[in-house]
Structure 1
Amino acid sequence: ITDIPSAVNATPRIVLAGRTAWRADLDTTNPVIAALEANLGKILAVAVVDVDDTSAANAIDARETMSSERLMPVGVAARVYEGEVLVTRPMSPRVAGLMVRVDNSTGGTPFDPFANRAIYGLAGLSRKIPFSLLDGSTEGQQLLEANVAIVAEGETGVDGAISDGGYVFIGTDNAATGELFEQIHQVRGTDYIVTELIQITRQFLGRKMSADTVEAWINSIQFKLRDHKAADHILGYSPRDAMFTADQNSPENLRLGRIHLDIGIEPAPVFKVAEHEIRRYLPAVEGLVNEIVSRLTSSA
């Protein structure tokens, strides 16, 4: 990836590259994956990539060859009609289309996760992956635990099914090795804010260094982050007096025209796990006793 066509040179960027599920053997990284890992960060883009859909073990093995917060592995292929012929095709373009659909529903911004959404146009899946909301030991839950996204088939009347029908995409995580930005919508949202900060900063570059210039620059950044907080795109951000600190901005650097800002933002996480405990509630029985006593007393 040497440059971005002007027609799509805007954030959020989604890269689609074919045949990412291919591997020469189980000990080798796919060459397209290797190229994506090296280049996606340069253009602030993410990519949904297909991994081996024949088994959970092979899908997880392929995911283990990756180490990038900009890759989202998906471990099942799509069965679709091409004319009258039923064929198996990669799932990644359909997930990319889902991402665009969700972005468009929120004004073109990439801050919302796109999990637990229906994928349309499927005739079936390359294989049915067992999944249950109530059982973490199912194959589907194991794939998700290994950061491999799936598509699950809905089932009517089954409590642990993801839906009553259709085909639902389930996936939130990328192929990063840490948990700081493990959820891919947080990476996309941060990229979006970075490009906005670039647009703000280039208005000030080349101006004379002064307290007024620096304060106006920081205020412009704070106003933009405030708007994102008001729209619930982020949970919060660092105050402006914490962005510019003396220990990060020595007189020597300011003499050279260099300013360092420490900007903290907290992207909203996705709701992934629900835990609840149902137990007996004694006050309800005590209330029944009091009600009976009250009625008998009033009758007397």
Structure 2
Amino acid sequence: MATPVDYGVLFNTLDDDLQPMQQTDMSTLYLVGTSEDATPSFLPLNASRMFNSSDPLFLAALGTGNLATGVRLVNANLGPFQLAARIIVHRVSKGATDAETIANIVGNQANGTGIYGALACGQRFGVTPRLFFFVDGLTGVFTRGPTSTVVTRAAKFGGNTGTGLMTLADPAFGVGVKAGVYRVRAKTAAANGGVFSVVDPDGTVLADATVGTAYTGVVKFTIADGATDFVVDDGFDLTVTLAEGPATVNPICAALPQVLNALLANAIVSGPGTTVQDDRDWRETLSHERLIPVSTWVTAVGMSEGTFIEPGPVAAGIGVRVDAQTKGKIGVPSQSFANQAVYGITALKRYDTFSLSDGANDGQQLLADDIGIIQRGETGVDTAAVSSGFVLICYANAGTVKLNRFFNVTRTRDYALLQILRAWRARLGITNITRTGIQAFENDCDVILSRLQTDEHIIGYLTGIGAGNTPETIRAGRFRFKIKNEPASPFLVAEADVYRYRDALNALLADVAGGTNAALAPVT
């Protein structure tokens, strides 16, 4: 329609206001797992389905295995007024072996199965899952390389009278050799000979060894005669060291970073939950800041006595809880999962020692290795993690850059970047690179980051013009900005310097001297 030329009224609608801050959901869960008795029509294999976690139809369709237990644990750990979590479930088939099930959980990127099914959720459901967890206990499965055996020998403490030597065979060990010290001692002395007893590290007496004859038991050696004959109690100690090979990376944990990076998501991965050493060996194989390691396995309400489930569902439910409770109530994931009460469980598979004031215990060592733990309360123990109930202590990721060690810091960074992305995409191709256009982009950042600073999700921020802008890049439609922001770290260690306070005594004396009771006044 042509505009009036000489006479009329015109209204020009301008769209140069600041882009408002939008709520970004960082708490949509993605669960890949098996359930052999799930309802296929409601929860088909190798397909993602989104539900509210308290939907009765959904809960009934999950079946009776760990998939259902995991969702119940998520629901048990939600916060006040939280009726459900938004959860996307991708059911896979259970293989004949753990290796086959792991392969099904990893899935295939070309087919969009397993963990790769999350990549299409934004298009399919209008939401992007950003907190992954698992229920089959397979993210902690790993193997170790071949065990190496080293045997060394030395004359017994104090030395020998006889000058004969012991020579180790190559190899110096046989099948069934044990780690520790094998004691070889002369029990019968003879000219140019003798007989030696052999005792293994557990105190078991093995076959005797004879001077000049090769010994071919679980340890292998030959004792030669010397210029001076052996006497009774002469001997040698053989030290056997069994060194296990390095742990291999779990395939699920190895495949996850690609998907997590694409979605700006995080995954809660559970350790083997067997021994503390196994958990630490498993942790050594992880090296990505989007993986959140947790250790302690649990028994949940409804599970049979003596059966356990990995702690991922507990941490996921708590994650949804704390995201909703952060200041401003806009879902900023700026809080760790530490010191959070755990609900819906009845027992732990392994009770690790722990003290708030001492680092020489299993719980503190696991935390030092960036592995989250669950602790049981101890009434009357002041240095316990909590006085009653169960508590999750989880705040670190598996990254190697300590600057980004805390996952609430990296998740807050992701939240801010997603907010800026949403604001800037509304300007691309519409705003020109002019002084006003550049300022508009900066102003969008200021709106977002100032709100995060006001609510104390970040400590401070700075925006400005980045390096590398040239006339040529501007002509190409490109411009670089600089954005700095400092997310708040969790308060983990409180340290106080404690002194005696002499001024309090001076105040006491002054108070007494100024009192009205003559009996308390100083004698002059």
By the TM > 0.5 criterion, same fold? yes
Of residues 429, 435, 438, the one that matches 1:211 is: 435
SS state at 1:248 partner:
coil
The answer on whether the counterparts of 2:139 and 2:250 sit within 8 Å (CA) in structure 1 is yes
The answer on whether the counterparts of 2:121 and 2:128 sit within 8 Å (CA) in structure 1 is no
Of residues 127, 133, 140, the one that matches 1:9 is: 127
Instruction: Give 2:310's aligned amino acid.
Output: P
CA distance in 1, matches of 2:256, 2:370: 18
Q: Which residue of 2 aligns with 1:120?
A: 343
For each residue in 1:188-237, what CA deviation from the matched residue of structure 2 results, as whole angstroms up to 9, or x when unmatched? Answer: 11111111111011111112322211111111111111111111111110
Out of 60-69 and 99-108, give the one that drifted further.
99-108
Higher-Rg structure is 2
The answer on whether the counterparts of 1:69 and 1:174 sit within 8 Å (CA) in structure 2 is yes
CA distance in 2, matches of 1:8, 1:51: 32
Of residues 459, 482, 493, the one that matches 1:273 is: 493
Tell me the number of residue pairs that the alignment of Structure 1 and Structure 2 aligns.
Answer: 295
Q: TM-score, normalised by structure 1?
A: 0.92
Q: Which residue of 1 aligns with 2:273?
A: 53
- Whether 1:71 aligns to 2:291 is yes
CA distance in 1, matches of 2:140, 2:521: 76
What pairs with 1:127-166 in structure 2 (closer than 5 Å)? 127-166=350-389
5+ residue gaps, structure 2: 1-115, 145-245
What pairs with 1:149-188 in structure 2 (closer than 5 Å)? 149-188=372-411
CA distance in 1, matches of 2:307, 2:290: 29
For each residue in 1:154-184, what CA deviation from the matched residue of structure 2 results, as whole angstroms up to 9, or x when unmatched? Answer: 1101100111111100121111112111100
The answer on whether the counterparts of 2:299 and 2:305 sit within 8 Å (CA) in structure 1 is no
- 1:21 Cα deviation after fit: 0.8
SS state at 2:345 partner:
coil
Identity in percent? 34
Cα 1:84–1:148 change in 2 (3 A) is closer
- Whether 1:110 aligns to 2:329 is no
Of residues 216, 234, 253, the one that matches 2:458 is: 234
Specify which structure has the higher proportion of strand.
2
Specify which structure has the higher proportion of helix.
1
Q: TM-score, normalised by structure 2?
A: 0.54
- 1:299 Cα deviation after fit: 9.7
- Whether 1:21 aligns to 2:140 is yes
- 1:58 Cα deviation after fit: 1.3
CA distance in 1, matches of 2:256, 2:126: 17
Cα 1:85–1:288 change in 2 (3 A) is closer
Cα 1:159–1:297 change in 2 (3 A) is closer
Instruction: Give 1:210's aligned amino acid.
Output: T
RMSD of aligned residue pairs (Cα, Å): 2.0
- 1:290 Cα deviation after fit: 2.4
The answer on whether the counterparts of 1:81 and 1:87 sit within 8 Å (CA) in structure 2 is no
- 1:298 Cα deviation after fit: 9.1
CA distance in 2, matches of 1:223, 1:256: 28
